[in-house]
Amino acid sequence: MNNLTGIDLNLLVVLDALLSERHVSRTAVRLNKSQPAISHALARLRHLFDDPLLVRHGGRLEPTLRALEIAPQLSEAIGRMRSLLAPAGFDPTTERHVFRLAMSDYGAAVLLPRLMAALRIEAPHVDLVVNQASREAMASQVTEGEIDLALGVFPAHGEGIRSSLLFTESFACLADASQLGGSPAMGLGDYLALPHVLVSLRGDAGNEIDLALAATGKARRICLAVPHWSVAPGLVRGTDLVLTVARRILSQANGQGLVVFEPPFAIPPFDFEQIWHRRREGDPRHRWLRALVTRLLGEEGPAIDR
């Protein structure tokens, strides 16, 4: 192990992919290799590290303790090598690249229409693969190198995570116009008397809105919990439901029988950020993408690295 001249470093690329995919066939597809080639590489890796590294459990390969110890260092080393071998610059008008992003339904709504419009003009050969996950899962994907960039609300950042603030978001309410009787506002008593729609992946009340309401000693009745921000405004029209969500989601909802109004109690705003791992810091393609996202969403000024 200490003599690098006797080691095929391509094996480490395979190990990095195996630890990410935890599946031989998916690793083969990812690396454009045959399944027997990946199985053979895994056998050589086991001999090299004198450890099983990945053991079959059900339909997946589960990492051993040694593999879990290796994974973060290996991922960072592979990332640094890719940055070292990457071109000194990035020409988005001609170069091909695939970025893997993670964001919530909210993040997709506020970013993707603008981002895709910009890419089709400025970087026609750049493609995106976008997935959705919880905050914790997105942060983990960034750390493990499964995605390039995550966008969302991240109260805490793990080791090696870099971030930049894109904007600070506030909350607003939406109701059918019939519930406000011509008024542009709703008092707290009327707000609490009506049933509410909650947008939450987990469907629980541990969210910013209900925590702020609980601080006043009050609680609302949530009669519907949905996981998607985009569908929620359409559920309010023609009903007595009230929706309280991030303001940007409601930018197109005012009118057509619906009214956007201020919450009748104070809800702290939240910071919307992009996060990435420090291993990607120097990658010119990654720097270009972060700058583009900042230009599209940083409406309150340049992003602030934190």
In angstroms, rounded to a whole number, what is the distance separating the alpha carbons of residues 142 and 276?
A: 6
Closest CA to 41 of 71, 18, 72, 73: 18
Token pair recorded at residue 243: 């929706």
Report the alpha-carbon distance of residue 117 to residue 150 in Å, rounded: 19
Averages of pLDDT over runs of 10 residues in the chain (306 residues) are 68 90 86 90 92 87 91 82 69 92 91 96 95 89 88 86 94 94 90 94 76 94 89 91 93 80 95 91 90 84 44
Name the residue type at position 100.
R
> Exposure of 303 by Cβ count < 10 A (0-12 exposed, 13-18 middle, 19+ buried)?
buried
Q: How far apart are CA 48 and CA 42, in angstroms?
A: 10
> Of the candidates 36, 37, 48, 39, which has an alpha carbon nearest to the alpha carbon of residue 12?
48
Beta strand pairing call for 270-277 and 161-169: antiparallel
Locate 240 and state its tokens.
């007595």
Q: Which helix (H) or strand (E) holds 44?
A: helix 35-49
The pLDDT of residue 269 is: 95
**In this structure, what are the phi and psi dihedrals at residue 60, rounded to the nearest 5 degrees?**
-125, 165
| pLDDT (0 to 100) of residue 305 | 47
> What does the alpha-carbon distance between residue 168 and residue 270 come to, in Å, rounded to a whole number?
6
What per-residue confidence (pLDDT) applies to 259?
92
Any residues with CB less than 8 A from the CB of 11 and at least 6 apart, and which? 41, 44, 45, 48
| C-beta atoms surrounding 47 within 10 Å | 9
Count of residues for the chain? 306
